[in-house]
Structure 1
Amino acid sequence: MSPSSHLQTVLTRMPNPSMLRAAPVKSCEIRRPPVNSYNGIGGLLRHLRRGSGMTLAAVASRVGCAVSQISQVETGTRSLKPWLAESLDVVYGTAGMISALAAEAEIGSVEEVVAVRIPGENTTLMLSRRQFLTAIGLGAAGALPGLKEAVGRLTPTAELVDELRDSFAQLRNAARLTAPTHVIPALMGQVAIIDAVRHSSTGEVRVNLDRLQARLAETLSWMCEEAGDGSAALFWIDRTSEWAARSAWTAMSHYTSIRRSMLALSTAGFAPAAIDHARPVLASTGAPHRLKALAAKQVAFGNALLGLPDATQYALDLTARHLEASDGSDQNSTVGQTSLPTDDLLLMFRATCDVYLGGGPLTIAEFEPRLHAISAASARSGAINTAKLARAYASAGDVDRACRLAADVLDGGGATESRSTRVELVRALTLIRTRWPGREETAELSRKLESVSG
């Protein structure tokens, strides 16, 4: 099994200022922070090593350094050098994620940087994040100082596309299992490479680069949303739409409307807007059945949160019909939620609506037995749905079980690393406080949740 498949949630978060903050970016002069500011990276590296079953000596042998250096980096008493970060990316199969985090830590939390790992070279280029976002919005990353020279050495071939796809697959795997803030820098670095190199590509290579860039942007929108940065999430949804249209990828273009619907619920909690964003996909004659199913699911969620059971059931029935009609035989079947089988997806949708409508029996009886498998596929999905299950138990009158599940999520770090999880916990704890006012355990859980919500 690949070491990256053993990635687990790491509680310590690296500093990651708002991606779209308007404050001016400092100069590129490196100011070394205190050594212990590397503790977040050290904890991640220790977890990666232990998850892969490797000893300190084994890792040191692979990368060509002393055992003491690996140990000191993991404990935060020694900084992580760029060459060592590059080597550890190879050992753990993390596609530049460690290098990007190390570059951010080296610059410090005042400057905002994007670390770009150049394919085929043992080098990582650091760019101003503010300049990077401006250039990406204009499609002009290739004009950024340093990047223009670096990508000039790359030849846009099918082999390069395959290498970038492999790196993206590794990062998506990491994104399911570790904190969003750990993955965002490396994803942005890949976007920068593609945006710069695609201008010198032609034909099928150019189309494939455009579509890979759209996939990266869509994943970035998820990661930024889960990290609690709604503005950045919307920025990347807009880029996804732009790049999908550029490559005539209509399925992904439709999916951006669904993503906006999701964002309306997760960041604003505004059900009418979620329904409005999803309806055009349902009305489209060209949208694949799977995407129509996901749009119908969003309409169901919105109606459930509005307390409309009949409209919710109608939308769920429509979801089921479109899922059944989707044959999953083309590239459109890979757009959207793909980590679970269709039957489990439909069950999750029904259970979520049951919870939003104030019920719970469906979630407890049918959904809870599948929670372990869901958590195994995605730690973040497991945390989100455990929080939903807590609300289901509260609706069913079992406050003790509801509080235990909420505590499990909070103590496991799920709320720290996922805005969606925090939203579901707020809903659960609000119901508990309403039905059992003055309960001391609930007050403590609320304090914990407030502390991780900032």
Structure 2
Amino acid sequence: MGGRRTGLIRARKAAIYTQESLAHALNMDTKTVGTWERGEAEPVPYKRPKLAKLLGISLAQLEELLAEGTSGVLAEPAAAVEPAAPSPAPSTPRGGLLLPVMVNGRPVLIPLDAATASASELGPFLSPALVAGDEASLPAAQAAEWDAMSPLTRRSLLTHGLAASALPALGLDELGRVAEAMADARRYFDGPVLDYFGRQLAACKADDGTLGPAKTLPLVLGVVGAIEEHARDVKPDIRRDLLRLGAEGAEFAGWLYRDVRDFGRTLYWYDRAIEWAQEADDPAMQGYVLLKKAQLAFDEREPLRMLTLAQAVQRGPWSLPTRVQAESVQQEARAEVMLGATADAVATKLDRARQLLGARDDGASTLGAHYNDTLLTMQTAICYTEAGAPRRAVELYDESLVEDRFSPRDYGFFLSLRAGSLALAGEPDEAARTGVESAARADSTSSRRTKQELVRVLEHLRPWTNRPAVTQLREVIAS
């Protein structure tokens, strides 16, 4: 076979995959991906279309990469390419994107070249309408704001366009400060700039349940991209705090990819979160990410992996808030019923989870701050359904599934689970009506995770496939 296929390696890295996460997305062994990249083996034909799709290239490009061996057709990721400094005129580069930045309460469109946006994963989440094909797309008032910025600020924001996408609410003074940090991280990337990125990440988390991943991911990737780009340049006393924030952002990015069911990139960001948490000496984040991996294992219906991960959360060397411990105990109980235990057999574990949740936390950690009694009740209902007791699950949903207790995305997700329990309990019409209501929330928040649960609901409703309500649900999901 040929030598090392550097082009294939570059394509994988440009698509933000490790060998492990790409293998996971392809449902293959990591070693196999390594043999492809070393030129020791060829992907089987039926795997090639999915491989090309994951890498974001055409099938013809993939075949060329495999045939050329050591000579690749793809350049290094565009994030490493520095755009040219802007001219004084506020024009937009051809083929670029205009990213909105708030300046004095008004949106200013910052030009960013399309290659950088694409390589940094922003492309799939930006509307095609943002592609700038002519200079007239920049309104006069916004052009004046752009021109009013200092040349250093404009140049820095263009050079570090990924970071510019993460700046949705800055005044001119603060915009200049962040631009200086982008240009000279060692000198200017200080505590206040770090605090700013922390506030932006917190705002993204607060809006996620309403806006959904399609609108939240670009900003989160912008924050994480800025952190990753500058962690190597900052002062040593800032680096650990920067990586700690990066781990938090990477864990959140993993969750967002989980919601759109891109499990390969979910695993990639979870692994980055653990790596950065290790370097930042943040053991609690490491344990928390293991809990998130256990949740991912449930999505993929891998109960044994879910069980061992949930147990690792509880047995590890990290000091976790009791609310995180409570969720891990609940995850362990759910995995056990998926492996054949009865609901009564795991009742003690569910009671222990409730006790842990009610215990007082001594630390100030914000990990799992969203986890509360209502969420534990919802997860207990899931556990009952998996244990073959859907009627008990429906009773819990009826008791606690109230719209104003959840974000729109989460309410839609739990509605889909209620629909599944109703179907298994022999109530097809109510299950279908609940499913239709869930689908509306899933559409408004781009939650593919919810849509996948509704596909499972249709499977449960197969004995009643000709009932009008079931037909309506099937049409809604197919639309």
Q: Distance in 1 between matches of 2:468 and 2:421?
A: 20
Q: Please give the alpha-carbon distance, in whole angstroms, between the structure 2 residues aligned to 1:236 and 1:80.
A: 27
Q: Which amino acid aligns with 1:429?
A: L
Bigger relative CO (Cα 8 Å, ≥ 6 apart): 1
Partner of 1:419: 448
The yes-or-no answer on 1:214 pairing with 2:247 is yes
Q: Which residue of 2 aligns with 1:282?
A: 314
Match of 1:56 in 2: none
TM (normalized to structure 2)?
A: 0.63
- For residue 424 of structure 1, report the CA deviation from its aligned partner: 2.4
**Please, which runs of 5 or more residues in structure 2 have no aligned partner?**
1-13, 18-53, 58-73, 79-94, 124-151, 163-178
Partner of 1:402 in structure 2?
431
State how many pairs are aligned.
351
Q: Does 1:260 align with 2:290?
A: no
Per-residue deviation, 1:254: 0.6
**Given the superposition, is the C-alpha separation of residues 281 and 395 from structure 1 closer, same or farther in structure 2, using an over 3 Å criterion?**
same
Are 1:107 and 2:114 an aligned pair?
A: yes
CA distance, structure 2, for counterparts of residue 343 and residue 302 of structure 1:
20
Query: Which residues in structure 2 correspond to 1:184-263 (within 5 Å)?
Result: 184-202=217-235, 205-263=238-296
Q: 1:344 aligns with which of 367, 374, 393?
A: 374
Query: Kindly tell me: are residues 292 and 447 of structure 1, through their superposed partners in 2, closer, same or farther at Cα, counting changes over 3 Å?
Result: same
Distance 1:111 1:196, change over 3 A: closer
Give 1:198 deviation, angstroms.
2.9
Task: Please say if 1:168 is aligned against 2:201.
Answer: yes
Name the CA distance, whole Å, in 2 between partners of 1:437 and 1:276: 38
In 2, distance between residues paired with 1:162 and 1:329?
Answer: 24
Q: How many Å separate the matches in 1 of 2:472 and 2:116?
A: 31
Which residue identity lines up with residue 276 of structure 1 in the other structure? T
Which amino acid letter does the alignment assign opposite residue 221 of structure 2? M
Do the aligned residues in 2 keep the contact of 1:304 with 1:353 (CA within 8 Å)? yes
**Partner of 1:397: helix, strand, or coil?**
coil
Offset, 1:417: 1.6
**2-structure distance, mates of 1:376, 1:414:** 20
The structure with more radius of gyration: 2
The answer (yes or no) to whether the contact 2:429–2:470 under 8 Å persists in 1 is: no
Per-residue CA shift, 1:75-116, capped at 9, x if unaligned? xxxx99737x21389559xxxxx979x95xx73999444569
Identity of counterpart residues, as a percentage? Answer: 22
Deviation at 1:395, TM superposition (A): 3.2
Aligned-pair CA distance for 1:171: 1.4
Distance 1:301 1:423 in 2: 19
Residue 428 (structure 1) aligns with: 457
Q: Which residue of 2 aligns with 1:69?
A: none
Query: 1: distance between equivalents of 2:158 and 2:417?
Result: 42
The aligned runs of 1:51-450 (5 Å cut-off) are: 82=98, 85-87=100-102, 107=114, 111-114=118-121, 121=153, 124-125=157-158, 150-152=183-185, 155-202=188-235, 205-266=238-299, 268-284=300-316, 286-288=318-320, 289-309=322-342, 310-325=344-359, 327-332=360-365, 334-336=366-368, 338-340=369-371, 342-373=372-403, 377-414=406-443, 417-434=446-463, 436-450=464-478
Q: Which amino acid in the other structure matches residue 150 of structure 1?
A: A
Gap regions ≥5 residues in structure 1: 1-16, 29-78, 93-97, 130-145
CA distance 1:27–1:359, change in 2 (3 Å): closer
Deviation of the 1:403 alpha carbon: 0.7
Could you say what the CA RMSD is over the residues aligned between the two structures, in angstroms? 3.8
Q: Against the structure 1 CA distance between its residues 219 and 246, is the aligned structure 2 distance closer, same or farther, given a 3 Å change threshold?
A: same
> Structure 2: how far apart are the matches of 1:89 and 1:361?
55
